Amino acid sequence: MAQSIRPGQIVSSRQGRDAGTVYCVLKMIDERSVLVADGKKRTVNRPKVKNTRHLQIHSHVDSGLDQALSGKIKVTDEDVRKAVERFSGREEGSLGHGKG
């Protein structure tokens, strides 16, 4: 049984040419497929369809994107990029909270 996935959730590709790429879920297509974007190669206007079995599902859901996507507010590539970067920085264990 698959884990629950929701818009704004951070996922990583486990298989395919994009293996290891971190994405943000934009929309559930059905119980087996989602639209994902990273804000760079895969933009909001050209998201990738991924099978949920090929994704590593992370518990992190970006609250800003979650609210925007559920409220039908336009999400930009910059919003998605920032969400992915916030997760990636947290995942790498960065201890700094600012520059300098």
For helices 77-91 and 63-70, angle between their N-to-C axes, nearest 10 degrees = 150
Residue 61 lies in a domain: yes
Give the model's pLDDT for residue 91.
Answer: 57
> Domain range spanning residue 72?
9-91
Q: In total, how many domains does the chain have?
A: 1
CATH of the domain at 18: 2.30.30.30
Which tokens belong to 19? Answer: 């293996």
The residue among 99 and 74 whose pLDDT is bigger is 74
Distance CA 80, CA 10 (A): 10
Give the model's pLDDT for residue 95.
Answer: 39
pLDDT tens-digit readout, 40-76 = 999 999 999 999 999 999 999 988 888 888 787 889 9
Residue 66 lies in a domain: yes
Distance CA 83, CA 56 (A): 17
Residue 71 lies in a domain: yes
The residue among 36 and 63 whose pLDDT is bigger is 36
